[in-house]
Amino acid sequence: MESSDKNTKTSEAPTSIPIQPGLFEYPTPEHSHPALLGSHCQTCGRKFFPRRTLCTNCFVDGRMEELKLNNRAVIYAATVVHIPSPAGIQAPYAYGYVDILTDNIRIFALFTGDNPSSFHSGQEVELVLEPIRTDGQKQQIIGYKFRPV
């Protein structure tokens, strides 16, 4: 009984899971690109990432709509980290802040590509979803990254 439970679990366990639910969506037949998911207040126009339910700008409730962020961004600042992260990411790895084009939102972003040192402010990049590490159950943890256009 126990072992069959285990087997069921193993067979049903996803091979990959997102780092956090609701942060992004995979490409769909309607949208060929992956998208980060934010919120857009229909009263004051303020945009947020990640999603939130209350607009802290105008404090009007129930006026938030889901926003699919533009998949293109410009790097605001970039660095290369040479120590492994406690979250389990191997060094060296590149990250920084990117300004999402047309949405006026700056977000934290990992960078991906052959050369971590090549990223610099002003560079145009685009969103990709990639494994960032493997967890204890050998599941791939999927995060969002940006790569050179």
Partner 1 sequence: MGKNSRSLDINLDRYDKVTFMQEVYIIGAGMTQFGKHPDRSLRSLGFEACLNALRDAGVKPKEIEAGFCGNALAPAIQGETGVGQNVFWEVGINGVPIVNLENACASGSTALREGWMAVAGGFYDMVAVVGVEKTVMPKGTMLNVGAGEYETKLGEVFPGYFALIAKKHMERYGTTLEQLAMVSVKNHLNGSLNPYAQFQKLLTVDEVLNSPMIAEPLTLYSCCPNSDGAAALILCTEKKAREFMGKKVKIAASVLTTGTYDNERDITGWEVEKRAAEKAYQMASLGPEEVNVMEVHDAFTISEIIHYEGLGLCPPGEGGRLIDQGTTGLTGKIPVNPSGGLLSKGHPVGASGVAQVVEIVWQLRGEAGKRQLKNPRVGLAQIMGGNKEGDTRACTVHILMKD
Contacts with partner 1, residue ranges (CB under 8 A): 19-20, 23, 48, 50, 76-87, 89, 93, 95-97, 99, 104-106, 108-110, 117, 121, 132, 143-144
Token pair in block for residue 3: 């072992």
Rounded Cα distance, 38 and 146, in Å: 17
Query: Are the C-beta atoms of residues 95 and 78 closer than 8 Å to each other?
Result: yes
CB of 79 to partner 1, least distance (A): 4
CB of 119 to partner 1, least distance (A): 10
Closer Cβ to partner 1, 62 or 86, answer by number:
86
| DSSP state at residue 41 | E
Rounded Cα distance, 63 and 21, in Å: 22
Closer Cβ to partner 1, 76 or 128, answer by number:
76
CB of 13 to partner 1, least distance (A): 20
Closer Cβ to partner 1, 54 or 81, answer by number:
81
Closer Cβ to partner 1, 44 or 77, answer by number:
77
Secondary structure of residue 9 in the 3-state scheme? helix
Rounded Cα distance, 98 and 136, in Å: 31
